[in-house]
Structure 1
């Protein structure tokens, strides 16, 4: 029996995923700066809002005001009452959730897990985005401790029946890729002197998927993926 699917908010990506993501699991979107990870994550968030879900978005690098301004220009409604944006950036003197103030919880992934659990006690979020997880990994002192904490985070989110999307700028994300249920990579290439972008799925547990590198564009309305085309590398 085919598992139920939820939309990523990008039709071309849903097609590559054979209908969308399997809910209640954790997924990783990786790519260099400027490849559109945050935009993809926002499509995922807004697809949840459109479906009547509550969505929690934790920004760890881009200040919330900047994120709100950039994404609003693309037509995303970050003012929807179902959407909660937490600013956990290092630049923020205090960590802000709407109009309430929180102590810093971006120090490590254990603190992040506890903070999210606290939020889930007040409101059930079916989609959570951490953008980017890179910031939490860089705070870890020992790899083994980070691995343990990351696994505990994934298990906690599964128990809460929440679908989680993580973004990462690190090229090496061995532990995350091993433990998450799916990995989506965004890449930029220079072909004949022009910048081209390609998206590929390298892992998707519990389902078949399109493993071809498909071209995509970042437009003034977000990401468009051409799942009927192929990136032609030189």
Structure 2
């Protein structure tokens, strides 16, 4: 019996995932700044938009206007009615305007979980991105409290039957990696003075996957993964 899959919006990555992601689960994309985590996440939600799905993108670090400008240059249709973007970044302008998205989504992971549930009262989203989850981890005072809240978040998302992609800039994400259903890692290597990018899948519950490090590029049209090539390290 074959498992249902949904596309990440990147054909080469889908091939590494042996068909794509299993829907209704929570996944983690981790990597250093500049490796393309936000671009990958945008491919994921835009693949949903192309299918006529409602998708939700919560940005916690990059202001919405910057995100729209950068991603529109790559050809992403951020003004589609199926795409909802929530800016939860703590900017000075936001405090002047007294909007409540920062308080709702970014104060801690419990509030963000509740805020997403409220969004579902108005519209059902099949795909959600939280970019980056790192910002919420910094709000936790105790590791055990964050672990409980993160587990509760995952259970809530599964009950909503939505597929969630989290991004993280933290190299060590033990709790998140242990609890999520899959982990995609983006890496940058310096090989003979040249920058080489490589993507590796380290976990995918309920499925086999390609665990080799495959090269990828960030092009004018987004990310291209070369699933039939290998990253050659010195």
CA offsets, 1:176-197, max 9 Å, x none? 0000000000000000110000
Cα displacement (A) at 1:90: 1.4
* Normalised TM-score (structure 1): 0.96
Matched, 1:110 2:102: no
Paired residues for 1:1-234 under 5 Å: 1-91=1-91, 93-94=93-94, 101-103=99-101, 104-105=103-104, 106-234=106-234
CA offsets, 1:182-222, max 9 Å, x none? 00000000001100000000000000000000000000110
**Are the counterparts in 2 of residues 28 and 182 from structure 1 also a CA contact under 8 Å?**
yes
Cα displacement (A) at 1:101: 4.3
**What is the DSSP-based 3-state SS (H/G/I as helix, E as strand, rest coil) of the residue aligned with 1:183?**
strand
**What is the DSSP-based 3-state SS (H/G/I as helix, E as strand, rest coil) of the residue aligned with 2:2?**
coil
- In structure 1, runs of 5+ residues without a counterpart are none
Change (3 A) 1:151 1:195: same
* Normalised TM-score (structure 2): 0.96
How many aligned positions are there? Answer: 230
Q: Which has the higher helix share?
A: 2
Distance in 2 (alpha carbons) for counterparts of 1:155 and 1:162: 11
Q: RMSD value over aligned CA atoms?
A: 1.2
**Are the counterparts in 2 of residues 53 and 125 from structure 1 also a CA contact under 8 Å?**
yes
**What is the DSSP-based 3-state SS (H/G/I as helix, E as strand, rest coil) of the residue aligned with 1:189?**
strand
Change (3 A) 1:217 1:88: same
CA offsets, 1:56-77, max 9 Å, x none? 0000000000000000000000
Cα displacement (A) at 1:92: 5.6
**Are the counterparts in 2 of residues 63 and 92 from structure 1 also a CA contact under 8 Å?**
no
Cα displacement (A) at 1:93: 4.3
Distance in 2 (alpha carbons) for counterparts of 1:211 and 1:172: 19
